Structure 1
């Protein structure tokens, strides 16, 4: 992961540490949005990884889809 991607991943890590235990296992997709964001940042770097994570979070809504949604190559 690039140094900039490490910085972008800090809010995701904070969410996983602080808020994720309270939210529970209610994610519509597999892997969860936070796991997807971390994987996208690792594979694609800070800019494209953040864009992919934002798109995924945007799809996580009552009228969105569900199921398996892996990070594209």
Structure 2
């Protein structure tokens, strides 16, 4: 299941993301963070962490370096 989720995120990075303006305020990017979180914590917890990260990625957030912990 992890491979399927990671493949979907990679597909987004290659096919969708290049056509959108760069808007991620964090490093690593939210999609890369999602891949790392799924690899480290599994599908359910990894996707929850990624969803929380995406919610924090907004114009009111200072952003910055935010690795998967």
Shift of 1:15: 1.1
Q: Write the distance in 2 (CA, Å) between the matches of 1:51 and 1:10.
A: 17
Name structure 1 gaps, 5 residues minimum. Answer: none
Where does structure 1 differ by over 6 angstroms across 4 or more consecutive aligned residues?
none
Q: Distance in 2 between matches of 1:69 and 1:50?
A: 16
1:11 aligns with 2:8: yes
Q: 2:62 aligns with which of 46, 60, 65?
A: 65
SS at match of 2:19: helix
Kindly indicate whether the alpha-carbon contact (under 8 Å) linking 1:5 and 1:42 is maintained by their aligned counterparts in 2. yes
User: Matched residue pairs, number?
Assistant: 69
How do 1:1-73 and structure 2 match up within 5 A? 4-72=1-69
Deviation at 1:24, TM superposition (A): 4.7
TM-score (norm 2): 0.85
Unmatched 5+ stretches in structure 2: none
